[in-house]
Amino acid sequence: AQKITQTQPGMFVQEKEAVTLDCTYDTSDQSYGLFWYKQPSSGEMIFLIYQGSYDEQNATEGRYSLNFQKARKSANLVISASQLGDSAMYFCAMREGMFSGGYNKLIFGAGTRLAVHP
């Protein structure tokens, strides 16, 4: 079964608008972490934002915020005020708990390609 599901293979958004990239996850662990990475066309993986399963508040980093809904097992990335440089592939990933051996591994979704139009 897929542990990380990103249902949007591609998205586009107008410059300066907000966009939400969906991510749902599946784990039986109580302690886990959720990450979003950005991969521009140059190929590198850039860490954007992290949400721990016990964090009570949604994580924010500049224009990025993570809409964490634990009961629904979703961890959507919200990018506010999109910029042309936000055009990239975005990956949602999960680190499971220690007893799942998870702290050494990220489980990735298939990614969402975002295109920002001027």
Partner 1 sequence: EAQVTQNPRYLITVTGKKLTVTCSQNMNHEYMSWYRQDPGLGLRQIYYSMNVEVTDKGDVPEGYKVSRKEKRNFPLILESPSPNQTSLYFCASSFKGQGIYTQYFGPGTRLTVL
* CA dihedral angle for residue 44, residue 108, residue 53, residue 51, rounded to 10 degrees: 20
56 forms part of the interface with partner 1 (CB under 8 A): no
| 25: nearest Cα among 102, 114, 89 | 102
Query: Least separation, in Å, of the C-beta of 83 and partner 1?
Result: 22
Q: Using an 8 Å Cβ cutoff, are 53 and 30 in contact?
A: yes
91 forms part of the interface with partner 1 (CB under 8 A): yes
95 forms part of the interface with partner 1 (CB under 8 A): yes
The Cα-based distances of 108 to 35, 50, 94, 95, 112 in angstroms read 9, 14, 7, 9, 11
The residue within the footprint of partner 1, chosen from 8, 22, 50, 63 (CB under 8 A), is: 50
Query: Least separation, in Å, of the C-beta of 19 and partner 1?
Result: 20
* One character per residue 5-44, x = contact with partner 1 (rule: CB under 8 A): ----------------------------x-x-x-----xx
